[in-house]
Structure 1
Amino acid sequence: MTHDQTFGSDDPELPMLDAEQAALLRRLAAPHMREGHRYSLRDLGHLCRQAPVERWPEVVAGHFARLREAGRGGEGREELLRGTHARLLPEDAITPDLAGSMRYVRKAADGLVLAYALDQPTSVRILTDTDVERAGAKELAEAARANLMRVEVRHEEIPVEGGAVLHSLYGDSPFVASQALYLAQAAHRATGESLPAEGALVVVPTRHNLVYHPIADGSVVAAVNSLAGYAMRAHGDGPGALSPRLYWWHRGQLTSLTVIDDVERSFSVQPPPELLSRMKSLIRLAPAGRIRTRASGAAPDTGEAARRLGESLTRLAGDPSGLAGVFADAVTLAHARCADDPRAAHVDTWDAWALALQLGTLLFTGGQPQKCVLGDAVEVEVSGEGVTPPADVRAWLDAVYVAVVCRDWERVERLCSVPLELLRQDDAVDAYVVHWADTLRAYFTRQPMDAIVPKLLAAMETSVPQTLTHGPEAFVNHIDYQPVAMFHRIVAGDHEAFGKALSEALDGHRAYWGDAPAPRARVALGPLAMASLARGYGFPVPDELPYLPKYLLDGQRIEDVPRP
């Protein structure tokens, strides 16, 4: 993914001024520079741009007077600990003549350094090595972080095109943007919500604001484009310009996604492979309703969903190429029906599950036309002939889960004959998902247990958080992995451990979805399939459990499903 744009003027330090204005400012600043005050002119350029040219000498003199006042130093240890803040600065702010007395300054990210700044009544002074030594390096680091995170900020949510919501933290303090160093704490303080394990996209165009987007759903692509463009524009507006780059905050580290070509005077956004993988996975998961997003906060209209599905189903009779999408919609409707019918007692609910069973099997295994029914109004023949099965492991798992819930073992076996090579082509999932699919394929095609167990262990070993590079950690832990843990207890024949695994799966489902009315929140599909399987082996599974519709779990709602 790239996002290219040219930038700049002839003077890279003063892009906000034209060539004539930049030359004038440098002439006015030269006498002060000769006095040894060699600071970046970027902030001064923004100040001058906002003032009439005839006032520039006064603005320049006042600026350097404040710098001289701030540079006197000599504060006591307690004053330093009380007033020092961690602060992000542009990398070029630490000029060669300053670097020798500020060896403690470290790089925070491309284009940014972390320094300590003493907040004084009329100015802000960047500390020197002598100051750090006087205060104590460890004590100063702790105080600087604590003082920074006490800085008051205002919070605003900004919806942008593409469904993304940006969070803007802003204020009068020159330390606001520096809170990006500790973004998880800053975000929680401002919103009351934690950042996802995948982190956030963040920009710090000026010292007075930072804007971030949690990497939580498929809107991340829209956020990349919006944030990258905003950072470039706002950085040029100043004052207090900090960085025009887009960063990925992840596990306490800032990684630049912006690549700047100084020769071509252009920039592009180039996420690293790990982030690209996560983004691709989120793009697949979010529209399919598999993960909790802002969009999942609205209850679906099942009547309207059924009407649209009926129309799509009718079109399939003449053109089966849209089978993948219609199957996904059928699975969604099957879940949604259980909102009003949590026990799956009604025929409309069963019809939706039966339809999902038929379409999922046709999608992945093909087959002759068969009668598909939805309500009283739709009855069509749908064929799987000529349909290319998608390289979509989670869709395949949905089809298998639905077939297990419906106790259609012939269709389960057909689904498990799908070549593993096809499922391996899915590049939007972590390795454990493919290993899990391979485990089910081996199990339902009656391979020996010596062949099944290594596949199951591979699924378990590759699902730990430190190995994940695609799926959101919370989704994997609470939702996606739970059927694996339950199946492990089934093949071990451990009734007590299975009961605990089932309880943990339902607790995880509740913890992840909360009170969201999204269709996937209504039924824990994977655990329902594993609980249905376990009941067939005599495992004690209670009839009344949340997220497991009673008459699907005990099989009493199961009816014959048409075949070719």
Structure 2
Amino acid sequence: MFGRRRRERAQEPQQQPQDPELTFLTAEEAHTFRGLVIDAFAAGGLHVRPARGAVIAEDGRAFGLWNLAVACVKASPDPRAWGAIVHGHVETLLNPPLAAADLSDQDMIGIVHARVLPAAALSEPGTPLTAEQARPVAEGVVEVLALDFPDSVQMLGGDALAGRDVEALWAAGRARTLATPIEDREDLEVQPGAVLTLLSSESYFFAGRILDMPALLHEVYGPRALPRGVVVGAPHRHGIVLHAVEGAGSVQAISAAAQFVARSSSGAAGALSPHLYWWDGAALHTISRPNGQGGVAVEARGAFADMVGSLH
């Protein structure tokens, strides 16, 4: 969620090289972490080998490492404390309490959620999801179905949807996600009259509130008119950033929001999108993206450029 500090490393005489895949770990830490993962799978009877961003089993199953590594770092900066976290996670993966095939249609409808994910997740090794089973939300973001079991969240796709009432699942999943409450709200004044509103929740599905922007904006801002629209960011699954565009102060607020979203997305568990979007009352339009040099570029084009030009 927002406001959580990144870990602080002890001062070291020489900066250690970072791992090229788990970029928030040093190469030494990442080597230790991967060893813990491989050992945990071996203890559960499954031999895996390291691959790019994952470990791969002999039967072809792939298990991503990023979110588990983030969880370890958030728990402790000391790799010696990571073993229990890794073993607990792997045990859950190898002994899932239930699977979609075990559920009746009614049971599935009772725990299904709509979830927003990076579009790149559709091409990850071992994913059950396909492009045909995802719905576009904005550039780089898709909506999928997921089952919220007591101890895990499982993406719903592939053969698990065969013979099911898919439209009923979409309707139930979206309704459940849109009912996710806002647990925390923080208003940051970046300059007089220019405010960023940070919304967050512990729910894995919270970022899916952007699937119904009119309802979200009414909850946050009330019935006020928003003739110039709102800039929106969903950097990770637990957070949403909003700014209602108004006067000249919004120019600085938009730039601040773009930087904040990109920074919040980088290295986050459940990272979603580094982009900032503009909601014009009908759709989400991309207005910022990382520039490849460690910064963020705000792109003023088309109707968004016209709107920004009218601010005074």
TM-score interval w.r.t. the shorter chain?
Answer: 0.7 to 0.9
In structure 2, the CA distance between the partners of 1:85 and 1:195, relative to structure 1 (3 Å rule), is farther
State whether structure 2 residue 73 is matched by structure 1 residue 45.
no
Please show how residues 89-108 of structure 1 align to structure 2 within 5 Å: 89-98=117-126, 101-102=129-130, 103-108=132-137
Match of 2:199 in 1: 169
Alpha-carbon distance, 1:201 to partner:
0.7
Aligned mates of 1:10, 1:195 — CA distance in 2 = 48
- Structure 2 counterpart of 1:72: 99
CA displacement 1:392-413 (0-9 Å, x = unmatched)? xxxxxxxxxxxxxxxxxxxxxx
Shift of 1:112: 2.0
Assess, with a 3 A threshold, how the Cα gap between structure 1 residues 133 and 219 changes in structure 2: closer, same or farther. farther
> For residues 145 and 99 of structure 2, what CA distance do their matches in structure 1 show?
16
Answering whether residue 180 of structure 2 is matched by residue 180 of structure 1, we say: no
- Within 5 A, what are the aligned runs for 1:27-426? 27-29=35-37, 31=48, 33-35=55-57, 36-50=60-74, 51=76, 52-68=78-94, 69=96, 72-74=99-101, 75-98=103-126, 101-102=129-130, 103-154=132-183, 155-193=185-223, 196-236=226-266, 238-262=268-292, 264=293, 266-281=295-310, 283-284=311-312
Relative to 1, partners in 2 of residues 1:231 and 1:101: Cα closer, same or farther, differing over 3 Å? closer
Equivalent residue for 2:33, pick from 25, 42, 66: 25
**8 A Cα contact 1:171 1:208, kept in partner:** yes
The letter of the residue matching 2:100 is: G
SS of residue matched to 1:97: coil
**Larger relative contact order (Cα-Cα within 8 Å, sequence gap ≥ 6):** 2
Normalized against structure 1, the TM-score is what?
A: 0.44
**TM-score, normalized by length of structure 2?**
0.76
What is the CA-CA distance between 1:213 and the residue it aligns to? 0.9
Distance of 1:13 and 1:162 partners within structure 2: 41
- Given that 2:114 and 2:174 are in contact with CA atoms closer than 8 Å, whether structure 1 keeps it comes out as yes
Please say if residues 39 and 93 of structure 1, whose CA atoms lie closer than 8 Å, have aligned partners that are also in contact: no
AA paired with 1:43?
N
For 1:236 and 1:169, how far apart are their aligned partners in 2? Answer: 18
**Higher helix content, 1 or 2:** 1
Select the structure of larger CA radius of gyration. Answer: 1
Displacement of 1:140 in angstroms is 1.6
Query: Take 2:214 and 2:144, find their aligned partners in 1: how far apart are those partners?
Result: 20
Out of 120-129 and 90-99, give the one that drifted further.
90-99
**Alignment match, 2:44:** none
Letter in 2 for 1:45: A
The one-letter code sitting in structure 2 at the alignment partner of 1:260 is: P
Matched residues, number: 274
- Maintained 8 Å contact 1:163/1:222: no
8 A Cα contact 2:128 2:157, kept in partner: no
CA drift of 1:47 comes to 1.0
Equivalent pair of 2:18/2:24 in contact (CA under 8 Å):
no
CA deviations on 1:332-375 (whole Å, 9 max, x unpaired) are xxxxxxxxxxxxxxxxxxxxxxxxxxxxxxxxxxxxxxxxxxxx
Query: How far 1:156 sits from its partner (Å)?
Result: 3.3
Q: Conserved in 2, the CA contact under 8 Å of 1:184 and 1:194?
A: no
Q: Post-superposition shift, 1:27?
A: 4.1
Where 1:34 maps in the other structure, the secondary structure is: strand
**Could you report, residue by residue, the CA deviation over 1:10-52 in whole angstroms, capped at 9, with x for unpaired residues?**
6565232223323433444452733344243221121121233
Aligned to 1:537: none
Contact 1:170 1:210 in 2 (8 A): yes
- Contact residue 70 and residue 124 of structure 1 kept, 8 A: no
Tell me the percent identity: 28
Give the 3-state SS of the residue equivalent to 1:213 in structure 2.
strand
Cα RMSD of the aligned pairs, angstroms, is: 2.7
For the residues of structure 1 that align with 2:296 and 2:286, how far apart are their CA atoms?
A: 12
